Structure 1
């Protein structure tokens, strides 16, 4: 007796990728209809953005402090401690700010969005919306997708600001670096378009990707408690891998 062969991991991954692409087109088509639910979009921006501020600010402060401490002793070997502010700022604006914030955003907001939509699927709320002629894509998915795109650049700006503050506390207040040297070299070396704007572009793309993965995993999850649990796990794992891969690709093109 020949048993049916299970699809391979590669074919399953390609099928998931194709489904996610079709899901993205569905979201883009639903965005004009979602404008009628503007208050829901504002609520989601508050939920995924403002409610993530505590972890983003805390991690940004400590990342800046650790970065400053490590770089100070490394630069002191070559007599280049005056460049501490420049190196910290460029590291945060170009790489650490967008990437670390995206990973935090996926772990905090992405899993919440997946679990919320997944519970809606498990309790038949999405089916009830369809029966009442309410489009779930326009009312549930699109506002969360838009919120992810809007919230990520703002969170990255907060992360960078707290990171530079932490670097200043360690470099100037603790290690005794001259305050004017710290800020002067930073402002002279950081270019707004080349460094800051590139980081904002990265963060916007990361926000869109994480929001897409979170909403897709929640919307397509099996309607069981186990399915919701697996969906939240897949959101974190997939978002982390895609963010790091996209960071390399975008850095190669933007540089």
Structure 2
């Protein structure tokens, strides 16, 4: 069963990236998906990033405030934690629920209402037309959203420092720049791109092979989100182990 599903997944990905019949139509679809994934998700990413950045800073300060330890260490640890783990991983998990479920439901609805069959009868490569723009948008826009998440996480940490007396804002800013290693940015963006591919490809796969009615569409969307979250956590570990 697992090998059969994996084979169908690989075949679907191959069909999704065949040469398109008409580039202008695919380009319009890519732009539409970029707006949906990027602009549509900006609000929720902004909210969670600010609060997570503030919470990480407060908890780090609580654990490390000691006369021997420089207070700027709080900023360094909050920076590395935000860039390496919190922004890419938590953002991806949230986007799996928002973006992934939407994609699975959209494609699944088209399948059960026979719209995909109509596209294939007209000679359109339905996986390429429906799935490749979503994958391109996910791999492109989710790293950009993660960059925004990192910056807003730092902003949340700065706000938390300004509202508390444990760590000053100047110490926090000093910690953000002390001992910075550019490899963490590489790891962050690699995770974001891989997570974007995982979310869009798995959820599209679940929607594309939906059969039945509205109940099955909902089940396919749920499976897409659950499988995406599991694979995000798995590849989070794999990428961290490879780079770090």
Task: Identify the residue that residue 108 of structure 2 maps to in structure 1.
Answer: 118
**Per-residue CA distance 1:154-192 (angstroms, 9 max, x = gap):** 110111111111111112342352333221221132223
Task: Identify the residue that residue 117 of structure 2 maps to in structure 1.
Answer: 127
Structure 1 gaps, min length 5: 1-11
Task: Identify the residue that residue 4 of structure 1 maps to in structure 2.
Answer: none
Change (3 A) 1:22 1:72: same
CA–CA separation in structure 2 for the residues paired with 1:71 and 1:33: 54
Which of 173, 196, 202 matches 1:183? 173
Question: Which structure 2 residues correspond to residues 100-111 of structure 1 after superposition, within 5 A?
Answer: 100-111=90-101
CA–CA separation in structure 1 for the residues paired with 2:223 and 2:74: 38
Task: Identify the residue that residue 137 of structure 2 maps to in structure 1.
Answer: 147
Change (3 A) 1:33 1:180: farther
Structure 2 length-normalised TM: 0.93
User: Contact conserved, 1:34 with 1:143, CA < 8 A, in 2?
Assistant: no
Change (3 A) 1:167 1:178: same
Task: Identify the residue that residue 27 of structure 1 maps to in structure 2.
Answer: 16
Shift of 1:80: 4.1
CA–CA separation in structure 1 for the residues paired with 2:78 and 2:203: 31
Give the secondary structure class of the aligned counterpart of 1:29: coil
Which of 220, 223, 238 matches 1:234? 223
**Per-residue CA distance 1:44-86 (angstroms, 9 max, x = gap):** 0111121011111100011011111111110114634321111
Structure 2 gaps, min length 5: none
CA–CA separation in structure 2 for the residues paired with 1:111 and 1:249: 25
CA–CA separation in structure 2 for the residues paired with 1:28 and 1:81: 51
Number of residue pairs matched by the alignment: 242
Shift of 1:14: 2.8
